[in-house]
Amino acid sequence: MRHISPKKKRQFLLLILYQLIVGYISLKLNFNAPYYLLVSWGLPSLFFLYKIHINRHQYILEALLWSIPGSVLIDWIGHYSKAWSYWDNPLFASTGISILGIPFESFLWGSLFWIFYVLVYEYFFDENRASNFNSKEKFLALGFMIIGLVTVIVIRLLQPDIPFFYIYILLLLMFLTAICLAQYRELVPRVLKFGFVVLILGLQVEYFSLKLSLWFFPDGDFLQRIIFFGHSVPIEELLAWLIAPAAIAAIHEVFADNHQ
């Protein structure tokens, strides 16, 4: 965080402390997924939206247009392939509301995940803000939605086996990050630094989510299982907290920001 002001560094440390505090409060009160997601990602996102005065509605629209197809494609296939398992968990799918067979909480998770990491990136790592969710990004997001729906329909019809789905998704995100940054190589150090710095935030969420039993990994094919604070998780799960935020920052910077 060499290029971040001392004030922003202190604020980032406060964000880490905040995640710890709300995590332990969530454990004491046995929060389900919506409550935990709202206090861990939702409230900080509202703070950053308040502090960032440019095109606030654009951040929300961008998050929805990317996270909804992401839930349709990635979450649905992940559940189908047994890469993860939480849709039948009443602590995760607590509202009983589903869309296209996907729990409402999945869409909430994806939307808050996207907007939280974009706002953290903008607030701490990008001093040259010029958010402009342009028509090209909208077209890509809607295209992603169509691809997701078609893919789900095909999988429902053919019922294929999809081994090692989690690592395929991570490789896809790495590929998208590389493609996005190919023409803007000056952004590579910042995006990579962002991914490594916010890893601590992701691992905090992973720890408290596992302690709250919001998700688990009983089946599926993985590269390697490791013990994470007493819980057996695939190594892909921990890598995702590094790779996914970096991919989000790259996509946002190239399509909705000013490449600076």
Percent of the residues in the chain that have a pLDDT greater than 70, as a whole number: 91
Number of other CB atoms surrounding residue 155 within 10 Å = 15
Classify residue 4 by its DSSP letter: S
Closest to 173 in 3D by CA, of 260, 74, 63: 74
Closest to 176 in 3D by CA, of 247, 115, 77: 247
Query: 66: which 2 tokens?
Result: 């990317």
> Does residue 250 contact residue 180 with C-beta atoms inside 8 Å?
yes
Give CA–CA dist 81/77, Å, rounded: 6
Number of other CB atoms surrounding residue 225 within 10 Å = 14
Binned at pLDDT 50, 70 and 90, residue 229 comes out as: very high
Strands (E) in the chain, as ranges, are: 98-99, 102-103, 225-228, 231-234
Output 30 or 84, whichever has higher pLDDT: 30
Instruction: Kindly report the backbone phi and psi dihedral angles of residue 102, in degrees, each rounded to the nearest multiple of 5, phi listed first.
Output: -105, 125
Q: pLDDT tens across 157-212, in order?
A: 888 888 888 999 999 899 989 988 888 888 899 999 999 999 999 999 999 999 99
Give CA–CA dist 95/248, Å, rounded: 28
Q: pTM for the full model?
A: 0.89
Closest to 115 in 3D by CA, of 177, 51, 60: 60
By mean pLDDT, which of 67-76, 137-146, 184-193, 231-240 is the weakest?
Answer: 137-146
Give the chain's domain count.
1
Please give the average per-residue pLDDT across 26-37, as a whole number.
93
Residue type, 258: N
- Position 106 in a domain: yes
- The distance of Cα 113 from the centroid of its chain, to the nearest Å, equals 4
Residue-number span of the structural domain to which 157 is assigned: 6-256
Q: pLDDT tens across 74-130, in order?
A: 888 888 888 887 777 888 888 888 877 788 888 899 899 999 999 999 888 876 555
Binned at pLDDT 50, 70 and 90, residue 1 comes out as: low
> Does residue 187 contact residue 250 with C-beta atoms inside 8 Å?
yes
List of residues 6+ apart from 50 with CB closer than 8 A: none
> How high is the pLDDT of residue 133?
59
Average pLDDT for the chain: 85
Give CA–CA dist 225/231, Å, rounded: 10
> How high is the pLDDT of residue 247?
93
- Position 1 in a domain: no
Closest to 240 in 3D by CA, of 157, 181, 188, 174: 174
- DSSP characters over 232-257: EEEHHHHHHHHHHHHHHHHHHHHHHS
